[in-house]
Copies of this chain bind each other. A is one copy, B any other.
Amino acid sequence: MVSKNQIKLITSLQQKKYRIINQMFFAEGVKVIQELLQSNFELEHLYTTQHDFEEVLGSKKSLIHENDLKKISALATPNSCLAVFKIPEEKTIIESGLIIALDDVRDPGNLGTILRLCDWFGVEQLICSKETVDIYNPKVVQATMGSISRVNVTYVDLVEYISQTKLAVFGTFMDGENIYKSNLPQEGIVIMGNEANGISQEIESMIKNRLSIPRFGNLQKAESLNVATATGIILSEFKRNQT
């Protein structure tokens, strides 16, 4: 059974406001929950419809009916389990190696995909502007496929942060230098912009290294690349000489 208060609490965690008040978030599905359990995320409570997760203490676990899972799930088709975790304290920024910084990325799927890309390409630090979608948004947690446990994510005033960093700052623009012909360093910050508006003017004025992903073909009418796919191409270019 899931009590009315528990249902109320868990569904409230779909909203950022209540995640902040309660300092909790939730994840759904065996894979994501297992990855979070194996990392340093502190479990508040696990709700499952199966006799699984033997590693979790009985007091932290409830066997519930599918109908109850439906009541607390954020998914149209609920998985077999949902776990509430404490939001960990934000760690300080790891200012070394390659860093991705997001200037108001709003789509949860894009943030989740970018986090998976950071994990794949060994990027340890993801910096997000305050207006970027919350990393503990259930749709983001779902889209990260567990990568959330392996990349340090920090929310900052991006203008302030960029204005004081000693690392080289990169961004992609239509008029930038061909990324395929640029000499890319192993260290630096790559800024990725908002889905509709790209990189904001204030941030753009602070970017010294303007790169460009060339378009190909005869027509060259493709308007833009999705921010997550562009991040993948850029990370691949920065890392390809390190194999």
* Chain A residues in the interface with B (C-beta under 8 A): 109, 113, 116-117, 119-124, 145-147, 150, 178, 180-181, 213-226, 228-233, 236-237, 239-243
Contact = CB atoms under 8 A, between A and B. Distances in A.
B145 A219 contact: no
Copies of this subunit = 2
A107 B148 CA distance: 22
Contact of A236 (B117, B233, B241): B233
A5 to B, nearest CB: 30
B217 A122 contact: yes
Given A232-B232, A232-B233, A233-B232, A239 B225 contact: no
B147 A222 contact: yes
Contacts of A233: 232-233, 236
Contacts of A117: 225, 229
Nearest to A147: B222
A120 B243 CA distance: 26
